[in-house]
Amino acid sequence: MRLQQLSGWRVLTVVIALLGSVLLMPGTASAVTPDDAKVKKCVASALKYLGGVADSRLGGDCLIGLCFHKAGAEDHPKITYAIKRCQEASTGAQNIIDNYSLGIALMFLCEVDPQNQHALIEKLVKEVLSRQQPGGGWSYPNYKTGDTSQTQYAVLGLFMAKNFGGVEVPIEKVEDACGWLMRTQDPTGGWGYQGVDAGSLVKVQQNLVSTTLSASGSGSMYMLADMLQVTKKVDLANAPKAKALQEIDVPGKKDPRAPLTVMLAPDDVKATLAAADRLMGTGFTPQVQWNHYYMYALERYHSFREKSGGARENAWYDQGFDYLSKTQKGDGSWDGQDSPLIATALATLFLVRSSQKTIVKQIKLQMGDGLAVAGMILPKDIKNIAVNKEGKVVDEGLVIPTEQILKLINDGPSEEVALLAEKREALELSSNKSERASQIESLRKIVGAGDFHARRIAVTTLSKVRDLDNVPKLLFALTDPDSAIVLQADKGLRFISRKVGGVGLPDGEPTTAQIQAAQAAWKDWYLSIRPNAELLD
């Protein structure tokens, strides 16, 4: 059986580039990685410290929550606490919630709970955009000059909202921000504190140019260029194709990865990035001021530079880890110009390669969306490429658009569906709000009507979407005759409820009595928060 893709024109630059260049791979075999035991030890010690502290500022608590999320502790109480703080914050006044906290909160929510917090994400995006200056940057109230550091966090929040929050960010607003950074780049290729905007691309000397601010500006430029789709594409001419992918052309179709900008010339954007790259190099140098802010920005810059096909030298990470390993205190913290709490959070995000993890997730979403319109054929042997947590291409996953998988399931039992159920952990749902809602509704119907393989796919996917509307279907899945589906439903209920320990259902082969007890306990929990809910029999 061959699955004909719907339409498209040599799209999925990111996916095919992965095949040729192995995106985000370390530069040398001896390079330090976040998976090394010595790095994990530093991170574990830092998390222990962060678990016992809190910040008066919203952004500080969001950074703490983000550290636990990026380290894999997705149900940690610090994440729940930060979400609650975001929900309770008064975001309308800049003297109450500054641009730093606003951008960080937006980024955090898009990272940890984009579906359930969608309304709040939309509110924060609106607030961020309302604070953008006419020139394109962000700064303090009543300042006419844009602030490179504050702009960085606004851009980070908007990037996350566009790619993960399901919120459209007007292209002209992205162009305005990108144009401001281009006009305020110093002749050296760096950025200063309050941007001197000459009104053209003729470089003028900036004030208080520093390595930290240059990392901030460079990373922001790469994120904006990514949003505008003007970053360098990897040459596909000699890139080997995976054996399961056969590329076909569909005449008359526009390349969806073409540049989106009208106001800015793509070559000018790339020239700005090239000047920044020449200045930034591939190394790490400790800074006297705001060093951990620099490290957080540096990791973001290099991650997006790598994604665009730039240098993949790992020297900056090796050197940064060496510095952090020697300066970490006995309680797991680091001293910093802001506070030990903030310094420790930023150092932790550097060590876990926070931005790289975000990019890997972004690529997976683009792979799912892109293949649906790629004009490609997947033969019956549908084993294909996947991306592991380091960003390496591995031949152990399945890359088929969700809509086609749902169609396969609705067509009845098949070898392809069985293979998907066996190999794929969960379907990649669309980042488009309406498409995602439609996919989730289809999966809910499958829970009680599909064959074993279809039910497993549906329950596995729904169990990883933190949405209370999925609970009735997962409660119903607890009655499934297959214990694997029962256990997956229980995991999903733990995830949605944030009850890490669950209600007592053991792993392995639970008894009928244990399953029935779990069913009753989960129903009691759900009815305690939704007393009028109607449950399935």
pLDDT, one tens digit per residue, over 331-350 is: 999 998 889 999 999 999 99
Q: Mean pLDDT highest for which of 94-108, 174-188, 395-409?
A: 174-188
- Is residue 97 a contact partner of residue 89, using CB atoms and an 8 Å limit? yes
C-beta atoms surrounding 464 within 10 Å: 17
| 3-362 matches 391-529 in fold | no
Rounded to whole angstroms, the Cα distance separating 389 from 105 reads 24
Rounded to whole angstroms, the Cα distance separating 472 from 480 reads 13
Residue ranges in 167-280 assigned as alpha helix (H): 171-183, 211-228, 266-280
pLDDT of res. 37: 95
Task: Give strand ranges (E) for 279-401.
Answer: 376-378, 383-387, 393-398
CATH number of 391-529: 1.25.10
Q: For tokens 């009735």, name the residue.
A: 472
Whole-number Cα distances in Å, 342 to 63, 196, 334, 388: 8, 29, 9, 29
- Asked if residue 536 has pLDDT above 70, the reply is no
pLDDT of res. 336: 86
Tell me which of 6-20, 33-47, 407-421, 523-537 is least confident.
6-20
pLDDT, one tens digit per residue, over 460-515 is: 888 888 888 888 888 988 888 888 888 888 988 988 887 777 888 887 778 888 89
pLDDT, one tens digit per residue, over 117-152 is: 999 999 999 999 999 999 999 999 989 999 999 999
Average pLDDT for residues 389-399, to the nearest whole number? Answer: 41
- Asked if residue 384 has pLDDT above 60, the reply is no
Per-domain residue ranges of the chain: 3-362, 391-529
Q: What's the pTM value of the predicted model, to 2 decimals? A: 0.66
DSSP notation for 64-121: HHHHHHHTT-TT-HHHHHHHHHHHH--TT-TTTS-HHHHHHHHHHHHHH-TTTTHHHH
pLDDT of res. 459: 86
The model's confidence at residue 184, banded by pLDDT at 50, 70 and 90, is very high
pLDDT, one tens digit per residue, over 227-251 is: 999 985 433 233 333 333 333 444 4
pLDDT of res. 115: 86
- Is residue 222 a contact partner of residue 273, using CB atoms and an 8 Å limit? yes
Task: List phi, psi (to 5°) of 508.
Answer: 95, -125
The model's confidence at residue 314, banded by pLDDT at 50, 70 and 90, is confident
245 half-sphere exposure, CB direction, 13 A CA radius: 23
CATH of 3-362, one of 1.50.10.20, 3.40.50.300, 3.30.300.130, 2.40.160.60: 1.50.10.20
Sign of CA dihedral 59, 62, 64, 66: negative
pLDDT of res. 366: 65
pLDDT of res. 464: 82
For the chain, how many residues are written? 537
- Is residue 440 a contact partner of residue 432, using CB atoms and an 8 Å limit? no
pLDDT of res. 167: 93
